[in-house]
């Protein structure tokens, strides 16, 4: 069962594992780190699941995340630990936005009108007739048994070493998630799951 913010519950598909995980735990927050497989890329991407202890603690956690500098950096799991009970709901979230008007409002006007010069971007005799008609942004995050996928990124590969302490991580109520590049600390995606059945 996944407990909703209004006090009701829904039955949702969960994943579980007995493998060791990167988890940090405080009195009111647990954070799970799922590192992405690096391949040949030197950047280090990870998904973080931020689970408040209180079933209705999502908005308080969101406020801390947005107002306390260094909040993520101070709570990142650094050790792999043995898990006791581990449950994470499957979810998929997509978001799309047409951002042309936003860019124009920020002062980026020239590429959108017929006087645009895109000759250095496009090698074609027709460049004099080209201009940008729209800019769209789309992102997608999916978590399932095979790992996590973000905007057609890559799946999670996990390797672990043992620690004596076992920590439970049961994400059976609303939580935040984010995808971060760990070397420079840039957050690429941030979102929340309040009902995994409403994933789109």
pLDDT digits (tens, 9 = 90+) for 80-101: 999 989 999 988 877 777 777 8
User: Which tokens sit at 77?
Assistant: 């799991």
pLDDT of residue 62: 93
Quote the domain boundaries for residue 57: 2-92+151-198
34: Cβ contacts below 8 Å, ≥ 6 apart = 21, 22, 46, 47, 48, 49, 147, 148, 156, 158
- DSSP secondary structure, 50-86, as one string: EEESSTT-HHHHHHHHHHSTTHHHHH---SEEEEEEE
- 166 lies in the same domain as 75: yes
Return the higher-pLDDT residue of 59 and 125.
59
pLDDT of residue 175: 95
- 159 lies in the same domain as 81: yes
pLDDT digits (tens, 9 = 90+) for 30-70: 999 988 877 777 888 899 999 999 999 999 999 998 898 88
pLDDT of residue 170: 93
- 119 lies in the same domain as 87: no
pLDDT of residue 128: 64
> How many domains, the chain?
2
Residue 156: is its pLDDT beyond 70? Answer: no
Report residue 153's pLDDT band, with 50, 70 and 90 as the boundaries: very low
In a domain, 123, yes or no: yes
pLDDT of residue 152: 35
- 33 lies in the same domain as 109: no
Which pTM was predicted?
0.71
pLDDT of residue 22: 93
Report residue 200's pLDDT band, with 50, 70 and 90 as the boundaries: low
- 160 lies in the same domain as 81: yes
CATH number of the structural domain spanning residue 176: 2.30.39.10
- 40 lies in the same domain as 122: no
Q: Which of 131-135, 155-159, 167-171 has the weakest average pLDDT? A: 155-159
pLDDT of residue 145: 67
- 11 lies in the same domain as 105: no
- 20 lies in the same domain as 47: yes
Closest CA to 37 of 141, 138, 159, 137: 159
- 29 lies in the same domain as 86: yes
- 50 lies in the same domain as 68: yes
């Amino acid at each position: 069962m996944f407990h909703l913010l209004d006090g009701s519950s829904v039955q949702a598909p969960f994943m579980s594992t007995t493998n060791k995980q990167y988890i940090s735990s405080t009195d009111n927050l647990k954070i799970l780190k799922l590192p992405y497989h690096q391949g040949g890329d030197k950047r280090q991407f990870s998904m973080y699941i931020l689970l408040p202890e209180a079933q209705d603690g999502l908005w308080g956690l969101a406020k801390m995340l947005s107002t306390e500098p260094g909040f993520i950096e101070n709570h990142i799991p650094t050790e792999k630990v043995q898990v006791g009970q581990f449950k994470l709901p499957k979810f998929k979230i997509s978001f799309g936005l047409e951002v042309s008007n936003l860019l124009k409002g920020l002062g980026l006007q020239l590429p959108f009108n017929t006087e645009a010069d895109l000759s250095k971007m496009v090698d074609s005799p027709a460049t004099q007739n080209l201009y940008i008609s729209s800019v769209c942004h789309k992102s997608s995050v999916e978590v399932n048994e095979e790992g996590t996928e973000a905007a057609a990124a890559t799946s999670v590969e996990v390797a672990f070493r043992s620690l004596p302490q076992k920590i439970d991580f049961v994400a059976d109520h609303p939580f935040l998630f984010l995808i971060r590049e760990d070397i420079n600390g840039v957050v690429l995606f941030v979102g929340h799951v309040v009902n995994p059945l409403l994933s789109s």
